[in-house]
């Protein structure tokens, strides 16, 4: 069931002093307490929030996104101490990670104590917890007085939203409200690390890198499915993800190889869209998105926006050069390979 509803907009200024007392945050927080869905900015991507204690509210997240019910949601909190309200025990390594990286782009998986809706955790014995590093997100969570379940605020399968406009593109009329706090800074989602077992395991690469984690807690494993084809442990990783409107192909090679791949697609009579690094900015195509610079932070920040630029009516195929899959590039390539459905041309 998804009837049309009016979506309310609040535009907030991130830097005002008592954001939490503002009319906008108070109204949005009241919606959350009433079990309604409110999208909001975090430092990674926009999230689609609902009270993580309400079965009904959480179920409506899955409906609005068209998300499979077996894919658990991250629970967002505004204070580190809230972790103890929802977990059975917190290992020392998890505590160290929270101290170092919260608020920030790190989701920590721990055994839960049953106080959250079972819909949030998709029936698993663990829950993913995160304290986002964004003044609007923190003010909203705090004002609501609730733990907030929030997946990325896109329709399932689409690139994650990094602006309120992207969020509206996917969810307008399907959710109660959107808090607009401007474009998000990081652009890729949080790193998901499972701390419920002996050895911490990265289930999803993201804003906090493996070497940053290892500098704090020593050895960290990377889930097999991230480096090879294997059964995914993070339930979300098995579904189609981040897909643009037209098929995307990654090109792993130098500039000449990229040019030759583009030429082949054009010769096939395809309308081609290109995501380009500045060095190739002069290349011609039916549509282009030129990244602002070569830094991996910039690619991460602009990636989802770039993927959303290309419309089915304008291009048949999108091409982009691959980036080195280390540090933040590991997260960027993880998203790109999924967005491309695994299509990579290698030199």
- Segment interacting with ligand TXA (CB under 6 A) among 26-34, 51-59, 188-196, 298-306: 188-196
- Which among 119, 4, 147 is positioned nearest to 59, based on CA atoms? 119
What residues contact 2, with CB distance under 8 A and at least 6 apart?
Answer: 63, 64, 174
Q: Work out how close the CB of 290 gets to Mg ion at its nearest, in angstroms, rounded to a whole number.
A: 26
104/99 Cα distance (integer angstroms)? 10
Q: Are 46 and 166 in contact (CB under 8 A)?
A: yes
Dihedral of the alpha carbons of 280, 282, 283, 289, in degrees to the nearest 10: 80
Residue 219 assigned as binding residue: no
Q: Work out how close the CB of 327 gets to ligand TXA at its nearest, in angstroms, rounded to a whole number.
A: 17
Binding mask 17-36 for ligand TXA (x = CB under 6 A): --------------------
The option from ligand TXA, Mg ion, none interacting with 204 (CB < 5 to 8 A, set by class) reads ligand TXA
Of positions 7, 51, 54, 190, contacts ligand TXA by CB under 6 A: 190
Residue 134 assigned as binding residue: no
- 3-state DSSP assignment of residue 306: helix
What residues contact 214, with CB distance under 8 A and at least 6 apart?
Answer: 220
The option from ligand TXA, Mg ion, none interacting with 179 (CB < 5 to 8 A, set by class) reads none
Residue 84 assigned as binding residue: no
309/146 Cα distance (integer angstroms)? 35
Residue 107 touching Mg ion (CB under 5 A): no
C-alpha distances out from residue 122 to 136, 305, 322, Å: 27, 29, 34
Q: Which is nearer to Mg ion, 144 or 152 (CB)?
A: 152
Of positions 44, 60, 107, 152, contacts Mg ion by CB under 5 A: 152
How many amino acids of this chain bind Mg ion (CB under 5 A)? 1
* Near Mg ion in 35-54, by CB under 5 A: none
* Near ligand TXA in 212-241, by CB under 6 A: 234-237
Residue 74 touching ligand TXA (CB under 6 A): yes
Residue 33 assigned as binding residue: no
Residue 126 assigned as binding residue: yes
Residue 196 assigned as binding residue: no
Cis bond leading into 117, ω under 30°? no
Q: Which is nearer to ligand TXA, 47 or 177 (CB)?
A: 47
157/150 Cα distance (integer angstroms)? 16
- Which among 91, 93, 89 is positioned nearest to 218, based on CA atoms? 93
How many amino acids of this chain bind ligand TXA (CB under 6 A)? 29
Residue 44 touching ligand TXA (CB under 6 A): yes
Of positions 58, 127, 303, 315, contacts ligand TXA by CB under 6 A: 127
End-to-end CA gap in the chain: 48
What residues contact 61, with CB distance under 8 A and at least 6 apart?
Answer: 37, 48, 50, 67, 73, 149, 150, 151
Binding residues for Mg ion (CB under 5 A):
152
Chain residues that interact with ligand TXA, rule: CB under 6 A = 42, 44-45, 47, 71-74, 107, 109, 121, 124, 126-128, 130, 132, 150-152, 189-190, 192, 203-204, 234-237
């Amino acid at each position: 069931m998804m009837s049309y509803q009016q979506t309310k907009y609040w535009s907030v200024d991130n830097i005002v002093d008592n954001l939490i007392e503002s009319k906008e945050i108070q109204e949005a927080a009241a919606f959350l307490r009433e079990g309604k869905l409110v999208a909001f900015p975090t430092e990674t991507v926009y999230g689609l929030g609902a009270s993580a204690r309400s079965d009904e509210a959480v179920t409506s997240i899955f409906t609005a996104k068209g998300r499979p019910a077996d894919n658990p949601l991250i629970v967002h909190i505004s204070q580190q101490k809230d972790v103890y309200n929802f977990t059975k025990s917190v290992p020392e390594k998890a505590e160290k990670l929270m101290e170092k990286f919260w608020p920030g782009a790190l989701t920590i998986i721990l055994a839960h104590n049953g106080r959250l809706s079972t819909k949030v955790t998709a029936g698993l014995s663990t829950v993913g917890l995160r304290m986002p590093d964004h003044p609007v997100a923190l003010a909203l969570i705090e004002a609501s007085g609730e733990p907030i379940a929030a997946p990325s605020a896109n329709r399932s399968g689409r690139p994650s939203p990094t602006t309120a406009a992207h969020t509206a593109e996917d969810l307008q009329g399907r959710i109660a409200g959107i808090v607009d706090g401007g474009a998000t800074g990081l652009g890729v989602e949080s790193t998901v690390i499972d701390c419920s077992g002996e050895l911490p395991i990265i289930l999803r690469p993201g804003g906090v890198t493996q070497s940053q984690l290892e500098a704090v807690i020593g050895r960290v494993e990377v889930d097999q499915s991230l480096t090879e084809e294997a059964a995914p442990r993070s339930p979300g990783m098995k579904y189609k993800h981040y897909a643009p409107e037209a098929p995307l192909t990654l090109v792993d090679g130098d500039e000449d190889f990229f040019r030759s791949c583009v030429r082949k697609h054009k010769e096939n009579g395809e309308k081609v869209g290109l995501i380009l690094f500045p060095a190739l900015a002069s290349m011609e195509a039916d549509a282009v998105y030129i990244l602002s610079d070569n830094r991996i932070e910039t690619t991460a920040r602009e990636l989802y926006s770039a993927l959303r630029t290309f419309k089915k009516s304008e291009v048949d195929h999108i091409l982009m050069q691959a980036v080195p899959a280390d540090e933040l590039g590991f997260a960027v390539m993880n998203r790109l390979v999924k967005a491309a459905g695994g299509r990579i041309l290698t030199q």
